[in-house]
Structure 1
Amino acid sequence: MAVSICRMEVSGKVHALMHLDFFYPSAGFVVSSGNYRPDPSGKFIYGYYTTNWLRYDMFQYDIEADDRGTVYNTFGENFVFHSYESNPVYKKLAGTGFITDPYPFQLGPVMQLTDGSMLVLSNKSLANYDLVNKSEYCYAGTEAGLDAPSPEEQHQQTGLAKWVDFTTVTLIGQDKTGAVYYCTGINDYTNGVTFYKLYPKKS
């Protein structure tokens, strides 16, 4: 079996970008998963690579240049954390990496945003990672909620994003206004799925 990730040229020709090789070789760069993450700009896609099948690195593939560029060890990188919290109770001082997994236990814990950054579910909050500049900040929820134990008052389902508990959410996508969509209850066969919209911060 071989899983290929391809693009279609204007001429209608199919061009292989990368492939997961199981006994049947194919064209394109060899990757460790048939899963990938598209960049909303359409310029990049992100693939996965591993040497031990325990921890995966993420690499950025430039579709236009047809080149596999930078490889990111998202868990081992040193990210500079930018804090915007004035209350020391909820303030986080140091940055941490995140685990890259093409087969996550929880559906949709990572999502690519339109500005090229990564939105990552981290404990009760959402973290934003700039892979290029190696920086991180709290996108929604409390900064303290990015780690455990989290503030007990961060338990809302709606309202001010700072107090929403994002623990079980599935990230879906982002619209042209910058709003992020997510849902809960994907395994709730009684009440069903509930969808939410996270509005961008007003400038």
Structure 2
Amino acid sequence: MVLWWLLLQNSLQYSDGRVEIVDVPKAFTVGDVVAVTHRRDGGVVVQRVSPPLYSAGIEIYLGEFLSGEQVRVRFASIASGNTDIGTLTFQFLYGESGVSEQTYNIPSGNYWQAELVTHTFTLPYDSEVTFRIIANVLSGVWYVIDYLDYYYPTARRGELLPDGNFESGSFGDGITQWKKLGAKTEIVLNPSYDSSYACKFYG
């Protein structure tokens, strides 16, 4: 058994650079580290051996939504300054392996911006949904988010996400508290309001 990295839906790259084309289940996504076993009958068994690795990120379970319902999240943020900060990728995970995602440049500016929103995700069928934020923050800078709620046209608009203002003060299981996905992610005192918490991503 050897380790490979998934390049495309049916391409596996070995650590020495060799590439093999195989039938890979759709449950895998680009960047997964997988173990490949070649059977004597010519078949190939592919298994994920680790979750995707992120330097910074969080996720939370949103609950069940009906087919056709839309999900969109609004949040407030502040950055360390007016230089380039990095990117944010927002993912809505649904069903067995469904992912709706979009990547944005992180807005710079050492002041609170309150009306930032994700893309709108429309449920293709009834499903539970988990919301994930992956932050790719440049070295030497930071980005803080707070107060995440549902935004128009979501049916739940105006409602806070679970632990949407990070008032639990810590990370948890991803159900009632945000799950931490990368080492460069912290729950911190809000830089503008010392009595409340926020989430900080840094490079």
TM band (smaller chain):
under 0.3
- TM superposition score normalised by structure 1: 0.28
- TM superposition score normalised by structure 2: 0.28
Q: As a proportion of its length, which structure holds more strand?
A: 2
Q: Which has the higher contact order (CA 8 A, sep 6+)?
A: 2
